[in-house]
Amino acid sequence: MPWLESVLSNLKDFPLVFIPLFVAMDPLGLLPFVVGILDPLAGSRRGTVIRKAILTGAVVGLVFLALGRAIFGVLGIQISDFLIAGGAILFIVSLRNLVSASEERPTAPDEFLGVVPIGTPLLVGPATISMLIVLTGLHPFWLVLAGFLLNMTLAWVVLAQAERIQRFLGVGGLRAFSKVASLLLAAIAVQLVRRGITQIWPGQ
């Protein structure tokens, strides 16, 4: 069956979708911040905040995933243009994460903490949105959708087990993981810019 062969062929590229999204979202790197937010809350309130965070992140991501190519068509933007622009944004975000040592505490009321800042911009922010739109230009839509939903499911598990994971890895271990993830994100950003330049000027 040709469609099955096509699906199986595209599945080989799934790691190329899943891993960049995982690095961009960096749920493990968010844990020290998230644990600090959840500490003052009772157990039931924590579950509510986490569910709101996952729902918010999923909705924001799906909106940009669905409208990304449509926006390109309306504005006349080529995928090579966004490879360069998206790569530049990802590089700036990763550089900020690499050099920043501060952890700002949110001032939003408890009922909105899952929406802002956890759901967005921490979990699904500029880096994830840029990565989603870029990936839709490089891979089939369903493959990117599957990679995003799997990452959101994984993020839900990580956030739900935030305290256990932090006790196991320690704050230092989580911060180290976050820095490594940011370095990988910077490398992916450079790769995207290079691919964009190559598409515009094939001889480069």
Q: Over the stretch 139-154, which tens digit does the pLDDT of each residue have?
A: 999 999 999 999 999 9
Instruction: Please report which residue ranges of 14-140 form alpha helices under DSSP H.
Output: 14-25, 27-38, 43-75, 79-99, 126-138
Contact predicate 10/143, CB 8 Å: yes
Each residue of 155-199: pLDDT tens digit?
999 999 988 888 888 878 887 877 888 888 888 889 888 888 988
Residue 75 within a domain: yes
- Cβ(45)–Cβ(116) below 8 Å: no
Ramachandran category for residue 170: left, alpha or beta (phi over 0 → left; psi -120 to 50 → alpha): left
- Burial (CB count within 10 angstroms: exposed 0-12, middle 13-18, buried 19+), residue 136: buried
Stretch 92-98: mean pLDDT? 80
Count of domains for the chain: 1
Tell me the mean pLDDT in the region 43-52.
86
Give me the pLDDT at residue 97, please: 75
Mean pLDDT to the nearest integer, 43-72: 87
In a domain, 127, yes or no: yes
Rounded to 5 degrees, what angle do the CA atoms 169, 170, 173 make? Answer: 70
Range of the domain at 194: 16-200
Measured CA to CA, the distance from residue 52 to residue 166 in angstroms comes to 21
Domain annotation covers residue 84? yes
Residue 8 lies in a domain: no
In a domain, 81, yes or no: yes
Q: Establish if 5 belongs to a structural domain.
A: no
Question: Is the residue at 2 inside a domain?
Answer: no
Q: Is the pLDDT of residue 21 over 90?
A: yes
The verdict on residue 129 lying in a domain is yes
Largest CA distance in the chain: 60
Calpha distance 94→189 (Å, rounded): 9
Instruction: Report pLDDT for 89.
Output: 81
User: Residue 94's closest CA among 190, 8, 17?
Assistant: 190
The pLDDT score that the predictor gives to residue 107 is 46
Total-model pTM: 0.80
Give yes or no for residue 110 having a pLDDT over 70. Answer: no
